[in-house]
Amino acid sequence: MEKKYPATAEKDIIETVAKQHEYFKTGATRSCQSRIDNLLRLKAALTDHEADLTQALKQDLGKPEFEAYLSETGFTLHDLSMTIGKVKKWMQPKRTLTSLLTQPSSSRIHYSPLGVNLIIAPYNYPVNLTFSPLIAAIAAGNTAVLKTSEMTPACSAVIQRLISETFPQEFIAHIEGEVKETTILLQQKFDHIFFTGSPRVGAIVMSAAAKNLTPVTLELGGKSPCIVHEDAKLDIAVKRIVNGKFLNAGQTCIAPDYVLVHKAVEEAFLSRLKDRIVHVYGEDPKQSPDFGRIINSSHLQRISAMIDAQKVVVGGQCDADALYIAPTVLRNVTLDDRVMAEEIFGPVLSVLSYQLLDEVYAIVDRLPHHPLACYLFSENQAVQREVLDNIQSGGACINNCVFHVANHYLPFGGVGESGMGAYHGFHGFECFSHKKGVLKSATWIDVPLTYAPYGGKIKLLRKIMK
C-alpha cells in the first residue's frame, strides 16, 4: 500500500496565499534584522527537530544517519550559518560603472524582494530541497508557501510541525496534500515559483506559471555523464563514482547517470568498480546500514525494468517488498537500451566505452536531456578544458562527482531541459531578489545635451555614443 498524505482544502490554500500577499505589503520581512532573526529562528527549529527529521528520512527513504546529516540536515544548517553571516553584506547596493552619456551621476544595483514565493520540493532530498530555497527566500526578504512531496509523508509531517511552530502562516506556510493541492497552488498568483523535480512536471509548472506571467526557477534533471579518460587515476575515480552514484540509493538529480570509459582502461575500471561496491556495501548490500531504499513500488518497478540481466556486472537483485534494488552496474550498454532512454534516478549505473572524445560528445548530444552535471576524470588539463568547452551542462566536477553542490560559493542549477536559474549562497539570494538598476543624477549641474531644441548637438552626441 502506498503512503497516504493529508489534504488541504482549496479555500485554505487561497486564503493562505492572500494573507501572504497582505503580509508582504506591510514590509515586515524587509529589514536586515528581521531577515537575520527569522533565519536564526529557522536554525533553532531545525536543530531542535534534527533527530525527528533524521528518523523521518529513515522511514521515507531508508536514509542512513550519516547521509541524512551530510546531504540533508547538516547541509541545511551549514547553509543557514553562512547565510546568517553574509546576508547584511549581500543586501548592500552594489556600485557599478556609469556611462558617459548619463554623467554626472552614479549607478547602483539594489536588491529588492520578489514578494510571495511558492517553493515545491521533491521526494529525494525532502529536507535539503525544501529548506535551502526557503533560506534564500527569507534572506532576500520574501514570504513563502512550501509544498513538499506526497511521497515523503514522514518528513512532511515533521516539516509541517516545524514550520507551524516557528512562523506565522502569513509569513511561511506549509501546504499538505498531493497532486490536487499542488494544482490548486499553481492556479494562484505568486511573484515567483521555485520548483525542484522532473522535466516532465517542470513543464507543467512552467505552463501554469505562464498564465499569471509568474517567473520560475526550475531545478530539474537529466542524464549526467561521467567520463573516465585513459589517464584517470582509476582507484580515485572508482571510489568517487561509487560514492556519487549510490548515495541515497541513486535517487540524486546530479548522480552520474552513466559512465563513458576509455577502451584502454575499461576492463580495469569495471573490475575495480565491482570490488569497490563489495568493499563499501558488502556481499549483500541489502544488509548494509549504509544503503538506502527506493521511494515507492512504482519507482522500483520503473528502475528494475531497465536492468538487462545479460549485461549485469554486479548487483541486479530486487526485493519489491523491501523497496530494495542492489547497487547495479551494466556493461556493453548501447544507446538503444531502455536504460539510456531516460534518467535512471536509481542505483543502476550503465557503462559504455569510447576511444575518441568526439564519440563522447556525440553520445551526450544524442541523449534526450541536457545534463544537469558532467563529471570528468582526467589528469590532462587540455582534456579538461576540451570537455568543459564541448559538453553543455548545468555544473561540472573534474576528478570528482556530486561535490560541486556542496560548495555554496558556486551557483547550482541546470541548463536547457535540466532547468533554468541557479541558487545556493549569494546566488540563492539573487534568485529570490529583483536586481533594480538605480541611476542617481547630480543636481549641481544640468547638462543640456539631451534637451530640445537639439540644433547642432547631434555631432557631439555621436562622439559620446561611439
User: CA–CA separation, 135 vs 43, rounded Å?
Assistant: 10
Q: Which three cell numbers stand for residue 420?
A: 533554468
Which residue among 67, 72, 176, 219 is the active-site one? 219
DSSP 167: S
User: CA–CA separation, 398 vs 388, rounded Å?
Assistant: 9
Which residue among 253, 374, 401, 431 is the active-site one? 253
Instruction: Verify whether residue 253 is a known catalytic residue.
Output: yes
Tally of CB atoms within 10 A around 337: 15
User: CA–CA separation, 162 vs 131, rounded Å?
Assistant: 11
Q: Let me know: does 256 contact 375? Beta carbons within 8 Å.
A: yes
Spell out a b/e string for 2-14, using b for 16 or more CB atoms within 10 Å of the CB, else e: eeebeebeeebbe
Angle between helices 357-366 and 381-390 (to 10 degrees): 20
Tally of CB atoms within 10 A around 19: 17
Which residue, chain included where needed, has cell 509568474? 214
Instruction: Verify whether residue 219 is a known catalytic residue.
Output: yes
Q: Cα 21 from chain centroid?
A: 26
Q: What Å distances lie between residue 205 and 7, 119, 263, CA to CA?
A: 20, 11, 42
User: CA–CA separation, 110 vs 445, rounded Å?
Assistant: 25
Dihedral Cα 343, 349, 353, 358, nearest 10 deg:
30
Q: Which residues are catalytic?
A: 219, 253
